[in-house]
Amino acid sequence: MSVQAYALGMIETLGLPALVAAADAAAKAADVRVVTYEGVDAGIVTVYVIGDVSSVQAAVDAGADAARRVGRLLHSHVIPRPDEHVPKMIKQLAALSIKAEDASVKTKAAAKKGERERPAQAQQKETGGDQAP
């Protein structure tokens, strides 16, 4: 899909349940693609959708209505034919979000591994380690 042939839609909510409802309604209402979402601070989250202009407008309208029903809609907006730098910025935001999640998962995995190793080390000390009888 060329930059000139699509629109970018944004739905910003307070809280994840409203965002999930908005994304679900948007995806079901029209032929759009939910690209990513971004959490800012204090529960403010934004979902991004792309597609042709009329589909994105219909999707954003449906998503905004769903967000209002479930929680709190902060803003919604459609940008027809966005400048080529706008999608690149959003891709970077998505990449940063994925990297942060990966780092968090690795940190948690390392912490769990450390917890498993500590009891094994304590047991070795009690039994005299790996010494043969």
Q: What is the pLDDT along the chain (133 residues), one digit of tens a residue?
A: 454 578 999 999 999 999 999 999 999 999 999 999 989 889 999 999 999 999 999 999 999 999 999 999 999 999 999 988 887 888 765 665 555 556 666 666 666 666 665 555 555 555 555 555 4
Q: Are strands 72-80 and 7-14 parallel, antiparallel or unpaired?
A: antiparallel
Q: Supply the pLDDT for residue 19.
A: 98
Q: Supply the pLDDT for residue 88.
A: 80
Q: To 10 degrees, what angle do helices 16-29 and 53-70 make?
A: 140
Q: Supply the pLDDT for residue 5.
A: 75
What is the rounded distance in angstroms from the CA atom of residue 66 to the CA atom of residue 26?
A: 9
Give the 3-state secondary structure of residue 30: coil
Q: Supply the pLDDT for residue 70.
A: 98
* Residue 36 buriedness (CB in 10 A; 0-12 / 13-18 / 19+): middle
Architecture of domain 7-100: 2-Layer Sandwich (3.30)
What is the rounded distance in angstroms from the CA atom of residue 116 to the CA atom of residue 110?
A: 10
